[in-house]
């Protein structure tokens, strides 16, 4: 009784001598296409190619999430984070946001079905101010699919997988390029431009700092920052490129310059939050949306992990991730956890921190899959060192359960890189090989063999059988509606309604 009363009192800030305890501010940063070897804290010995002092500092004062998983590519990962579902229960299709199937008003769209509740809707319900900056790639077809429709008070960014860093153009209608830059509920007219000050990540930095400076710190903040960096096209201001001119491979030079640019944005954002007095009551969560894209798809490197973006090897799905900020209990700082966490788990975790029920009633009414999310706060805060998540159904081809992983079918990028990659010797190396795992599957012990070098399928038949059975169970729950085709309505809206910008095209 006494404990309950005390907890209640401290929640409303009435314990003598205590400042009013506010729900913690949360920053969720989802970096794009960031390779395992493309961050300083994963480089031992350090290399002058990977310069991320601000991020490394956050890790040093934070908790490294050493077994944190995403989907093997962008849109399914982002849909998973926003909806709290595993990708196989929301969308595992990396299609353009212009898709539409008029026969299905609930799920006949790209990315998240219309009738699922987004994490920001939950955070708003808990009293948070909610803002999105950067890449969305979780649906665009109707206003319900946009960040605003998913609960963000404001948003600033683009809907597609990527755009140009200087013109913000991606794809075209009748031969004319269309700009992808949206400002909450309208095209971001007049914000585009050329020149280093108009680099897209610079626009995002400006918006982030503006949000922080205008925010009233007595309201809890939920800020979702999804940088364009380090997705292609490989573009970066010369000032950054020049710092890395000693790198002999052009893609690697651009890529590392972009990583360094992002690190500066992180430094500026963290300084602004500290200056505003928000840092001590803040959780800064960081993850990549998938592994780094390896040759021929980009300049990233997941060394020593196998494969990369678009593959289900560890290099495609086990991603850089950590939690930092003053809300992280002291005893967890500078630590590392090997507990399994999937991007889908942040939904339940944020709901628990904010004190709202993660159940999605709206989705239940429309007979959509429920939220899959586990609350990871007990693991992150050190109340337990065991993750509630034992299985990662990474895709319909890959399942991790306990220490084991089964992969079914043809799995591309079945090779490894070196510490300096891509490089002049032979950028393709062995990375373009395909491993034919067939219907019965390849089996790895990812705890003893994190680089997936030894296929145990023939030496551990009982384990293989057990993993096959588990895979079948997940496969039976696969959610895969017909999402239609690129709709001409998207171009009609871009041209006739939005003056050359992409935006929602179905009411
Ligand atoms: C799905 O959402 C739409 C738009 O918000 C709404 O009109 C419709 O009633 C919902 N459908 C169901 C079955 O809940
Ligand atoms: C260069 O790349 C190849 C793979 O393409 C790799 O085997 C080799 O280790 C790399 N060299 C270095 C120094 O990392
Ligand atoms: C594209 O061009 C065709 C043929 O000129 C025209 O009929 C159509 O309206 C145009 N579409 C848009 C979205 O402008
Ligand atoms: C499509 C669009 O808004 N383009 C604008 C980009 O910015 C220049 C000036 O900076 C405007 O003239 C364009 O109209």
Lookup result for tokens 């384990």:
463
Lining ligand 4 with CB less than 6 A are: 179, 189-190, 192-193, 500
- With a 6 Å cutoff on the Cβ, whether 429 touches ligand 2 is yes
For a mutational test of ligand 3's pocket, the pick from 174, 494, 495, 505, i.e. the residue with the most ligand atoms closer than 8 A to its C-beta, is 174
Q: In this structure, are residues 83 and 118 in contact, taking their beta carbons and an 8 Å threshold? A: yes
- With a 6 Å cutoff on the Cβ, whether 427 touches ligand 2 is yes
Mean pLDDT, all residues of the chain: 95
Angle at alpha carbon of residue 111, lines to 154 and 179, rounded to 5° = 55
Q: In this structure, are residues 340 and 77 in contact, taking their beta carbons and an 8 Å threshold? A: no
How crowded is residue 55: how many other Cβ atoms within 10 Å of its Cβ? 26
- Structure token digits, residue 253: 């030079």
User: Residue 134: is its pLDDT beyond 80?
Assistant: yes
Task: Give the separation between CA 392 and CA 304, rounded to whole angstroms.
Answer: 21
Question: Whose CA is closest to atom 13 on ligand 1?
Answer: 366
**H or E segment to which residue 285 belongs:** strand 282-288
Closest ligand by atom to 417 CA: 2
- With a 6 Å cutoff on the Cβ, whether 176 touches ligand 3 is no
Ligand 2 centroid–CA 302 distance in Å is 12
Report the share of the chain in percent with pLDDT over 70: 95
Predicted TM-score (pTM) of the model is: 0.94
Give which of 283, 224, 223, 230 is closest to 253, Cα–Cα.
230
Ligand 2 centroid–CA 38 distance in Å is 15
pLDDT in the model for residue 15: 43
Question: Whose CA is closest to atom 4 on ligand 2?
Answer: 429
pLDDT in the model for residue 230: 98
How crowded is residue 248: how many other Cβ atoms within 10 Å of its Cβ? 10
Least confident window among 188-197, 258-267, 321-330, 393-402: 188-197
Closest ligand by atom to 172 CA: 3
- With a 6 Å cutoff on the Cβ, whether 192 touches ligand 2 is no
Q: In this structure, are residues 310 and 304 in contact, taking their beta carbons and an 8 Å threshold? A: no
Lining ligand 1 with CB less than 6 A are: 106, 114-115, 144, 365-366
Question: Whose CA is closest to atom 3 on ligand 3?
Answer: 174
Strands (E), 369-476: 391-393, 398-401, 404-407, 410-411, 435-436, 442-445
pLDDT in the model for residue 4: 43
Give the orientation angle of helix 345-354 with respect to helix 74-83, to 10 degrees.
30
- With a 6 Å cutoff on the Cβ, whether 219 touches ligand 2 is no
Task: Give the separation between CA 76 and CA 502, rounded to whole angstroms.
Answer: 20
Which positions ≥6 away from 309 have C-beta within 8 Å? 33, 72, 73, 290, 291, 292, 293, 294, 297, 298, 300, 316
Query: How much is the average pLDDT of 11-18?
Result: 45
Task: Give the separation between CA 15 and CA 107, rounded to whole angstroms.
Answer: 49
User: Residue 195: is its pLDDT beyond 90?
Assistant: no
N- to C-terminal Cα distance for the chain?
52
- Structure token digits, residue 347: 């939904």
Strands (E), 374-453: 391-393, 398-401, 404-407, 410-411, 435-436, 442-445
Tell me the pLDDT tens digit for each residue of 326-350: 999 999 999 999 999 999 999 999 9
- Which domains, and CATH codes, for the chain? 21-389+481-496 (3.40.720.10)
Ligand 4 centroid–CA 233 distance in Å is 21
Bridge partners of 485? 100
Query: How much is the average pLDDT of 64-91?
Result: 98
Ligand 3 centroid–CA 491 distance in Å is 9
Give which of 226, 258, 212, 220 is closest to 239, Cα–Cα.
258
How crowded is residue 1: how many other Cβ atoms within 10 Å of its Cβ? 5
Query: How much is the average pLDDT of 394-400?
Result: 98
| pLDDT tier at 193, thresholds 50, 70, 90 | low
Lookup result for tokens 């212009």:
98
pLDDT in the model for residue 197: 59
- The minimum-distance atom of ligand 1 relative to the CA of 144 is 5
- The minimum-distance atom of ligand 4 relative to the CA of 188 is 3
User: Residue 52: is its pLDDT beyond 60?
Assistant: yes
For a mutational test of ligand 4's pocket, the pick from 172, 193, 203, 501, i.e. the residue with the most ligand atoms closer than 8 A to its C-beta, is 193
């Amino acid at each position: 009784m006494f404990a309950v009363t005390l907890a209640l009192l401290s929640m409303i800030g009435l314990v003598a001598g205590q400042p009013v305890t506010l729900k913690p501010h949360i920053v969720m940063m989802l970096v794009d296409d960031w390779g395992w070897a493309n961050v300083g804290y994963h480089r031992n010995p350090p290399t002058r190619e990977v310069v991320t002092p601000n991020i490394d500092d956050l890790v040093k004062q934070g908790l490294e999430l050493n077994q944190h998983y995403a989907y093997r590519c962008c849109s399914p990962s982002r849909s998973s984070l926003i909806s709290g579902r595993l990708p196989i229960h929301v969308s595992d299709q990396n299609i353009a946001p212009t898709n539409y199937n008029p026969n299905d008003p609930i799920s006949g769209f790209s990315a998240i079905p219309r009738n699922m509740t987004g994490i920001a809707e939950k955070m708003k319900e808990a009293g948070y101010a909610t803002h999105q900056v950067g890449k969305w790639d979780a649906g665009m077809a109707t206003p319900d699919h946009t960040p605003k429709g998913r609960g963000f008070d404001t948003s600033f960014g683009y809907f597609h997988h990527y755009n140009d860093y200087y013109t913000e153009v991606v794809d075209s209608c009748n031969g004319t390029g269309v700009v992808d830059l949206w400002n909450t509920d309208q095209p971001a007219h007049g914000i585009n431009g050329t020149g280093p000050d108009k680099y897209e990540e610079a626009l995002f930095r400006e918006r982030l700092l503006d949000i922080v400076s205008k925010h009233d710190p007595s309201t809890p903040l939920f800020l979702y920052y999804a940088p364009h960096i380090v997705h292609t096209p490989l573009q970066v201001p010369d000032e950054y490129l020049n710092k890395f001119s000693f790198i002999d491979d052009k893609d690697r030079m651009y890529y590392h310059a972009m990583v360094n640019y992002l690190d500066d944005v992180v430094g500026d954002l963290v300084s602004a939050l500290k200056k505003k007095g928000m840092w001590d009551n803040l959780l800064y969560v960081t993850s990549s949306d998938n592994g780094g894209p390896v040759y021929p798809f980009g300049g990233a490197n997941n060394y020593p992990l196998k494969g990369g973006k678009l593959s289900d090897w560890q290099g495609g799905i086990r991603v850089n991730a950590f939690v930092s900020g003053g809300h992280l209990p002291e005893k967890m700082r500078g630590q590392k956890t090997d507990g399994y966490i999937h991007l889908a788990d942040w939904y339940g975790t944020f709901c628990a921190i904010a004190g709202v029920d993660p159940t999605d009633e709206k989705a239940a009414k429309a007979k959509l899959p429920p939220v899959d999310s586990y609350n990871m706060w007990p693991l992150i805060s050190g109340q337990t060192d065991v993750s509630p998540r034992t299985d990662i159904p990474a895709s319909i081809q890959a399942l991790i359960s306990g220490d084991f992983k089964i992969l079914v079918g043809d799995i591309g990028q079945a090779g490894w890189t070196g510490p300096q990659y891509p490089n002049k010797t032979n950028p393709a190396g062995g990375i373009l090989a395909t491993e034919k795992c067939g219907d019965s599957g390849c089996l790895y012990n990812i705890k003893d063999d994190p680089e997936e070098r030894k296929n145990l399928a023939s030496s551990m038949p009982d384990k293989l059988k057990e993993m096959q059975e588990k895979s079948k169970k997940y496969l039976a729950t696969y959610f895969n509606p017909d999402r239609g085709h690129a709709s001409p309505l998207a171009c009609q809206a871009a041209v006739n309604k939005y003056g050359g910008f992409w935006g929602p095209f179905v009411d």
